[in-house]
Amino acid sequence: MSETKSVFAAYSANTHLFGGNGPYVEEMYENYLANPGSVPDNWREYFDALQHVPAVDGSNAKDIPHLPVINAFAERAKQGGTKVVMASADAEMGRKRTAVQQLIAAYRNVGQRWADLDPLKRTERPNIPELEPSFYGFTDADQETVFDTSNTFFGKDRMSLRELLNALRETYCGTIGAEYMYTTDMAQKRWWQQKLESIRSKASFSPEKKKHILDRLTAAEGLERYLHTKYVGQKRFSLEGGESFIASMDELIQRAGEQGVQEIVIGMAHRGRLNVLV
C-alpha cells in the first residue's frame, strides 16, 4: 500500500509537466521571467532551480521573456508586405533572365529556318513562335530592359532586349543560314558562335581580298560562257547558281596550305566539276 502511495505521490508531483498543461506552465514561466514575485512561492522555487541548469551550449546564459520576442516577430510580419513584393519582383526578374537565355538558344538552334535565303521572295518565311520574345512572356515594356549577355560573342556583356534581338536576327536570320547546334562537341559549337556572332554573319574583306574573290568568280563565269559558246547543245553540268562554291573552295585550299596540308581529296558533285578541275 505504501508503495502505491509513493508512486501516486511521484505521479502527482509531475502532473504539471504533462503536455496538456504546457500553455499554463509557459505562461507562468513568462510571468516569472518578467517578475519573479508575481508567481506562487512553490513555482518561484521551481523556476529558481531551473536557472542553475546550464544552457544547451554549456554556458551560464539565462532565459529572457519570450513574449517580447514573439511580439517583435509578429510586428515584422505585419510590415512584411513590401519585402514580399520585392521578393516577387526578384523572382520575376529571375524568370526573365532565364527566358533571355532560352531566346538566345532558340536563335542558335532554329534561327536558320527563318533566314532570308530566297532573293526572289517566291515564298514567305515560316512563322516560328520560339523566335518571338512574346513566346517567353516578354512585352514591349521589356524592350529596354538590360540583361546579361556574357555567354554571347556580340561584344557586350550586357545588352537591352531590343539590342540582343537585333543582333540575333542579324546573325542567324540574315542571308546566311547557320546550322551547327546538332554537333555534340561544345568546343565546335563555341567556335561557330564566335565566328558568326562576332561579325553578325557579315564578313568584312579587305580590298585585296575582294579583288581576289572577284577574280575567281570571273574566271568561273568566263569558263561557263566559253563552254556554252564552244560546245553548243552539249550535255554538261553547269556551275550556274553555284558560283560562290568556287570562291569558298579556293579559300579552303589556301587555308589548308597555310596549315601544312599536303594533299586534298575532293569527292566532287557533277555540277561545277569542270570549273573545279581547271
Q: Give the CATH number of the domain where residue 189 resides.
A: 1.10.287.1150
> What per-residue confidence (pLDDT) applies to 61?
64
Q: Are residues 184 and 112 in the same domain?
A: yes
3-class SS at 86?
Answer: helix
Look at residue 106 and give its three-state secondary structure. helix
Q: Is residue 55 part of a domain?
A: yes
* Cα–Cα distance measured from residue 214 to residue 225, given in angstroms and rounded to the nearest whole number: 16
Residues 6+ positions from 278 with CB-CB distance below 8 Å: 223
pTM of structure: 0.60
Residues 107 and 184 in one domain: yes
The pLDDT value given to residue 105: 96
Residues 141 and 235 in one domain: no
Q: Per residue in 37-51, pLDDT tens?
A: 777 887 778 777 777
Q: Which of 29, 55, 78 is the last residue of a domain?
A: 78
Return the pLDDT at 196: 96
Residue where one domain finishes, among candidates 155, 175, 197: 197
Please indicate, yes or no, if residue 151 is contained in any of the structural domains: yes
- What is the number of structural domains in the chain? 3
267 and 216 share one domain: yes
Confidence at 270, pLDDT banded by 50, 70, 90: confident
Instruction: Using alpha carbons, select from 141, 140, 129, 139 the residue that is nearest to residue 102.
Output: 129
Same domain membership, residue 213 and residue 126: no
Mean pLDDT within 51-73: 66
DSSP 160: E
**Shared-domain flag, residues 163 and 227:** no
In this prediction, residue 237 has a pLDDT band, given cuts at 50, 70 and 90, of: confident
Q: How far apart are CA 66 and CA 26, in angstroms?
A: 9
CA–CA gap between residue 38 and residue 28 (Å, rounded): 9
Task: Based on the fold, state whether residues 163 and 239 are members of the same structural domain.
Answer: no
* Residue 162 neighbours by CB distance under 10 Å: 14
Q: Distance between CA 159 and CA 150 in Å, rounded?
A: 9
Is residue 28 within 8 A of residue 43, CB to CB? The reply is yes
Evaluate whether residue 6 is within a structural domain.
no
On whether both 66 and 129 belong to a single domain, the answer is no
Helix (H) or strand (E) holding 11: helix 2-13
Give yes or no: residues 67 and 146 share one domain: no
Q: Is residue 263 part of a domain?
A: yes
Domain housing 30: 16-78
170-228 tens-digit pLDDT? 999 999 999 999 999 999 999 999 999 999 999 888 999 999 999 988 888 888 888 87
Asked, for residue 3, whether it belongs to a domain, the answer is: no
Residue 84 lies in a domain: no
Q: What angle do CA 147, 149, 150 make, to 5 degrees?
A: 135
Rounded to whole angstroms, the Cα distance separating 185 from 12 reads: 77
Q: In this structure, are 159 and 242 located in the same domain? A: no
Is 172 inside any structural domain? Answer: yes
Q: For residues 85 and 212, give the distance between their C-alpha atoms in angstroms, rounded to a whole number.
A: 63
Residues 168 and 230 grouped into a single domain: no
**Is 42 inside a domain boundary?**
yes
Could you tell me if 175 and 152 lie in one domain?
yes
